Amino acid sequence: MPGAPGSNRSMDKAHQSLVARLMKLIRRPGFWFIIILLVFITLPHYEEALNHPAFITQLTANFGLERHAFERILYLAPIVWGGFLFDRMGSFLISLVALGFMLPRAIFISPYPVDSIYETGAIFIMGNVIAISFNALRKERENRAQLEMSQQELRTSEEKYRELFESAHDAIWLHDLEGSVITANKAAEKLTGYSKEELTAMNVRDFLSDESLKVSQQIENRLLVGEPVEQPYEQSLTRKDGSQAFVQLAASPILSRGGPIAIQHIARDITEQKRLQENLQFYLQQVTRAQEEERKRISHELHDESIQALVITSRQLDALASKDKNLPEDSRLRLEELRQQVNKITHELRRLIQGLRPVVLDRLGLLPALEWLAADVAEYSGISTKINIVGTERRVSEDVELVLFRITQEALRNVWRHSGATGAEITVEFEPNRIRITVSDDGRGFSVPQRIGDFARSGKLGLSGMQERARLIGGSVSVQSQPDKGTAITVEVVA
């Protein structure tokens, strides 16, 4: 039959377990001490068969013990004791031994066999019941002692947690699922400016803005259904004095009986750090703006002065070579050579001016500037460069266009200098509320570190510069590359 081998194995295991328990029981000295006690109780129980001295028979007769019921009652002592020492298995085994000692007298010797058998059965049952009762009482006391110990440990743990909770450097508060604050520590009082009593009478919406409250609710809803959440996340709150504080917040659900009952928040004040970052960003913006203004000034000066002077010099050389009929042929050739050199310098200078501050960017916008850039790169580097437009073209602010142009320019410069590519592609994607530009090539590629900030350590300062420029306009830069599989640099900005 199916399943029979498994049933046999289960029975074998149960049998082996029972045998092991019995062997463990009979190896204990207390078991044999109780057996010896049973033997001593049994001796007077069989006085007729064992021919006890007359004084023992007379002594039991004086106590009115002709039916030997007293000895049967004495059997209760080892049975109960066995249950106390060896649990239910011990009491049952010893009661079986006692039963084996009592039954021969009750059946074969006693003049009242029916009464004796009933009394023997009663002793067997009562012994086991009393042993089980005592054992249950002992276990109850042990459980009660263990429970008291656990409660004491719990109280100690709660006291330690309360001490850590109150003395924590980070602000901690708990609120229920409706947002009502349950408790808060001293750091939370310092962060918000409210006392603990004031906080416990408030709801989180009292010190969170609508936008912050929306973000917080989204995070909490994901936590309550067990979804992973990237933490800590930045959040802002309003202090009692009306000032704004920025915090790094980590939230976790508090569970009871398998379900969430509250949310715990741990907040680290990063207000000063945020202000320093904002100040640094403002400083970088000003430096970048000043740098671009200086580039613009230099390009204008080169165009208005140096280029014009070179153009005039070129015309003068041309006039000198063509008007003087008496000029020797070798001198005329030399003048023509000089004029061509001046024209080449003018061309290179114009390209340099465009690189400093392309006029097409200021006059026509981002896309024409990128088209010029692609053509210029293809001309001087020999790398086939094309541009793709996705979506509806639109103009954005001058600062955003300038940063996007500079990042694209730096990316193409990297393609030309480091990639060994034969082709590059610029893809500009216009979405309703953002712009994404991707510069990809078919060059040798490289292994990308985990963070863009690590590019500076490996000497790739251009990529770090792109990231810093993107941050100035609230954008981001990502890099995808593998050895021998090319590189794709993407800048994305909300605009």
Q: What is the mean pLDDT of residues 437-459?
A: 74
Measured CA distances, 110 to 39, 102, 215, 395 (Å): 19, 10, 90, 118
The answer to whether residue 2 sits within a structural domain is no
Chain position carrying tokens 């073209």: 393
Other Cβ atoms less than 10 A from the Cβ of 175: the count is: 22
Please write the tens of the pLDDT for every residue from 35-90. 788 787 777 777 666 665 554 555 555 544 455 666 677 778 887 777 777 777 77
Cβ burial 176-187 (10 Å sphere, 16+ → b, else e):
eeebebebbbeb
Angle between helix axes 398-414 and 461-472 (nearest 10 degrees) is 170
Looking at 297, 328, 357, which one is the last position of a domain?
357
Looking at the structure, do residues 481 and 396 belong to the same domain, yes or no? yes
Give the three-class secondary structure for 274. Answer: helix
The answer to whether residue 333 sits within a structural domain is yes
Q: Where are the beta strands (DSSP E) in 284-433?
A: 384-390, 423-431
Sign of the four-CA dihedral 346, 347, 349, 353: positive
| Whether the predicted pLDDT of 400 surpasses 60 | yes
Looking at the structure, do residues 80 and 199 belong to the same domain, yes or no? no
- pLDDT category at 18 given cuts 50, 70, 90 is low
- pLDDT category at 275 given cuts 50, 70, 90 is confident
Looking at the structure, do residues 461 and 420 belong to the same domain, yes or no? yes
The helices-and-strands tally (H runs, E runs) of the chain is: 17, 10
Note if the bond before 2 is cis, omega within 30 degrees. no
Which pLDDT does position 51 carry in this prediction? Answer: 60
Contacts of 82 (CB under 8 A, 6+ apart): 31, 34, 90, 91, 93, 94, 95, 131
The answer to whether residue 233 sits within a structural domain is yes
Instruction: Considering only residues 284 and 163, tell me which one the structure prediction assigns the higher pLDDT.
Output: 163
Measured CA distances, 143 to 131, 150, 439 (Å): 18, 10, 71
Report the percent of the chain where pLDDT is more than 90: 5
Query: What's the CATH code of the domain at 198?
Result: 3.30.450.20
Q: Is 109 exposed, middle or buried (0-12, 13-18, 19+ CB in 10 A)?
A: middle
Instruction: Considering only residues 134 and 188, tell me which one the structure prediction assigns the higher pLDDT.
Output: 188
| Whether the predicted pLDDT of 9 surpasses 70 | no
Which pLDDT does position 65 carry in this prediction? Answer: 47
CA 164 to chain centre: 22
The answer to whether residue 316 sits within a structural domain is yes
Looking at the structure, do residues 380 and 476 belong to the same domain, yes or no? yes
Is the Cβ–Cβ distance between 411 and 450 less than 8 Å? no
Which pLDDT does position 1 carry in this prediction? Answer: 46
| Whether the predicted pLDDT of 4 surpasses 60 | no
In total, the chain counts a number of residues equal to 495
Highest mean pLDDT among 2-16, 133-147, 452-466: 133-147
Is the Cβ–Cβ distance between 487 and 480 less than 8 Å? yes
Looking at 317, 339, 357, which one is the last position of a domain?
357
Give the three-class secondary structure for 392. Answer: coil
User: 158-167, 246-255, 339-348: which has the minimum mean pLDDT?
Assistant: 158-167
Looking at the structure, do residues 196 and 305 belong to the same domain, yes or no? no
Looking at the structure, do residues 103 and 51 belong to the same domain, yes or no? yes
Look at the pTM and tell me if it is higher than 0.95.
no
Which pLDDT does position 280 carry in this prediction? Answer: 61
Looking at the structure, do residues 315 and 369 belong to the same domain, yes or no? no
Which pLDDT does position 113 carry in this prediction? Answer: 81
Which pLDDT does position 259 carry in this prediction? Answer: 81
Q: Look over the chain and give the mean of its residue pLDDT values, rounded to a whole number.
A: 79
Which pLDDT does position 266 carry in this prediction? Answer: 85
Chain position carrying tokens 């088209």: 371
Q: Determine the structural domain holding residue 443 and report its residue range.
A: 364-495
| Whether the predicted pLDDT of 234 surpasses 90 | no
The answer to whether residue 344 sits within a structural domain is yes
Looking at the structure, do residues 54 and 134 belong to the same domain, yes or no? yes
Taking the C-alpha atoms of residue 426 and residue 410, their distance in angstroms, rounded to an integer, is: 12
Please write the tens of the pLDDT for every residue from 194-208. 888 888 888 888 888
Looking at 250, 269, 288, which one is the last position of a domain?
269
| Whether the predicted pLDDT of 306 surpasses 70 | yes
Give the three-class secondary structure for 467. Answer: helix
Sign of the four-CA dihedral 85, 91, 93, 94: positive
Q: What is the mean pLDDT of residues 221-225?
A: 83
How many distinct structural domains can be found in the chain? 4
Query: What's the CATH code of the domain at 405?
Result: 3.30.565.10
Looking at the structure, do residues 395 and 340 belong to the same domain, yes or no? no
Report the percent of the chain where pLDDT is more than 70: 84
Looking at the structure, do residues 277 and 255 belong to the same domain, yes or no? no
Which pLDDT does position 11 carry in this prediction? Answer: 65
Taking the C-alpha atoms of residue 165 and residue 390, their distance in angstroms, rounded to an integer, is: 54
The answer to whether residue 419 sits within a structural domain is yes
Other Cβ atoms less than 10 A from the Cβ of 485: the count is: 13
Taking the C-alpha atoms of residue 189 and residue 72, their distance in angstroms, rounded to an integer, is: 76
Closest by CA position to 265, among listed 196, 174, 180: 174
Contacts of 202 (CB under 8 A, 6+ apart): 180, 181, 194
Instruction: Considering only residues 374 and 9, tell me which one the structure prediction assigns the higher pLDDT.
Output: 374
| Whether the predicted pLDDT of 310 surpasses 60 | yes
Taking the C-alpha atoms of residue 483 and residue 266, their distance in angstroms, rounded to an integer, is: 43
Extract the tokens encoding 174: 């708990």
Q: What is the mean pLDDT of residues 173-197?
A: 86
Looking at the structure, do residues 318 and 255 belong to the same domain, yes or no? no
The answer to whether residue 151 sits within a structural domain is no
Is the Cβ–Cβ distance between 326 and 387 less than 8 Å? no
User: 151-160, 309-318, 399-408: which has the minimum mean pLDDT?
Assistant: 151-160
| Whether the predicted pLDDT of 480 surpasses 60 | yes
Taking the C-alpha atoms of residue 9 and residue 407, their distance in angstroms, rounded to an integer, is: 74
Q: What is the mean pLDDT of residues 146-151?
A: 80
Closest by CA position to 91, among listed 18, 29, 25, 19: 25
Give the three-class secondary structure for 321. Answer: helix
Looking at the structure, do residues 139 and 252 belong to the same domain, yes or no? no
Extract the tokens encoding 322: 């063509």
The answer to whether residue 49 sits within a structural domain is yes
Q: What is the mean pLDDT of residues 271-293?
A: 69
Phi and psi based region of residue 267 (left: phi greater than 0; alpha: psi -120 to 50; beta: remaining): beta
Give the three-class secondary structure for 112. Answer: coil
- pLDDT category at 438 given cuts 50, 70, 90 is very high
